Structure 1
């Protein structure tokens, strides 16, 4: 079946005027801001022809032996044809059409628009393509993207046609294939956007960390010099305090140097006794525990040596202890314990704080995610556990979290022993 000769130069019938003061529902849908945003977001407007879509329209036209099959994308001014098979040469090359078309009538529908004879109703007969293309039969299945009708999968013929149940089902199934392709594209676009956002957040975080780490060096040097002056003054009663200050400054300097490394740099692995690692982290966080009227209890640890980046692991344990301090009531005891399991050593930080729901546990390591209670407290930006996980994995370890709402939280890092 072919189109008759081009009659675009002949005068067109005028579309039926709507009742005064009313706007047809399809016209409201066509100009809807939400729908037009979905059209733009689909990325289909003015896109190149693609074999995947072209094969669908070609198969449809051949199976049904109709004049043409096409995929239209309708914006506020025109119909753009993502794919077509059977159009007259001029229209096939232009790939777009201005003015009212049958595709507009699908924009407010969920089901296919089926027309057996466009001459049977004045509304259909007044559509310009009835004259310019000789359209006498039409089926249009709405295509959705982002929950909006952005166009339709269409079949037209140049003679009246009683569309059979099998023919209509064939059109619907082929239209569903086109819709699945749109869904896949939307999912891919969303994934790319999410990845770009995540990369941007990570880059922003690393820049902030680099600036903060760089600027921390000066005050750390001041604290270090002041502590050494106190130590040299020979005053009594301050030995433990100055020792703790110098120890903390040393650990902080190591962590600052670690922060200033490239994010792609491998950890600086070195043998570290697990007891030393845990004791240094506890010693560093003890002043904070004292401030909150809590106790840090370091339980006996197995004699074992870990091949890890000392600065990164002190940072990990400090982060976990800090979380426990934030979410535990005054008077609580935060326990740091360890156990050996074959070639693996577990270090666990346990508290009796507010705990977490199952949903919160499932999302706890997502970068940027915060529980509602954390948001209410305005505690950071939700990066802590994500950083813990990335640092532990960089040191060839694993981290797991167990928690019950109102019963406290236990976080364990598992690392290979040497």
Structure 2
């Protein structure tokens, strides 16, 4: 047992020396190709066996000169086979790595990526799949950025037009009053007040939308009932509905408890009702209903606008979108529905629109307040 322990010790010392030499070689070749590293690994395995054998032989005189030559030749043949295998494996891995590098060159230009056809190791194949997934996410992000940029340019154009028109009217009316040529000053004053109120509403909407996009919308949620929110919103919209000859229908509204910012949610309902009233012809009706489930409450506003073109449905909640080419009042700045979506999503809810017979239905989904 002592001889075996001594043999194991000398074999371990020889193998450790070969391993340390391999570590030094790998450190020196750390910036070289993978094939060089594989060759070093193969050489370490062969040299560790040779060093262990020679150290035991020299220390304990277990072999004569002839046996030592035989062992040396055997180890040399093993070394040649190991080196050849390492070279072949290194060339294969290097080819897969070069193919992946060539495929990745186009990644930063157009965001597309196609996996190389060269067979690769499992690690390189996994890396290639990750690049494909990153390319898909990058393409989707660029598409969203293009859509947001187009929406932003459209919004700026519409806002500029909507601001220029009332400002020009205000300038003309103030000049007429200043020159004393206004035949009915009281009417001019009333018109100026109305235009100022409309401009103030536009600025308020822009400020609200900027807070939503910046993520600085501050909510103060309180437990309330959808029945109360709908009742307050309908009461606030009665005058506008009467002016346009539109009937407001209070469909069954369940007293579903929700935790929302009452002020912001009242703004959501007001925007939906104003939008529905403006697009419903005289004699039509706007209906509001609310239902609740175990986890979600649904609040819907249905109008008689005749429906929205299917191609336009995905853009209804985009900032600045108004569904037509009209850019004059009372078209507005097209911010109301964008604000609706921002506030509802800030409450962890969802909003969508669908066409129904004779009109369209805006549907909000909000979490039900826990008991």
Would the TM-score normalized by the shorter structure come out above 0.5?
no
**TM-score class normalised by the smaller sequence:** 0.3 to 0.5
Q: Which has the higher contact order (CA 8 A, sep 6+)?
A: 2
Structure with the higher strand share, 1 or 2 = 1
Between Structure 1 and Structure 2, which shows a larger proportion of helix residues?
2
Q: TM-score, normalised by structure 2?
A: 0.44
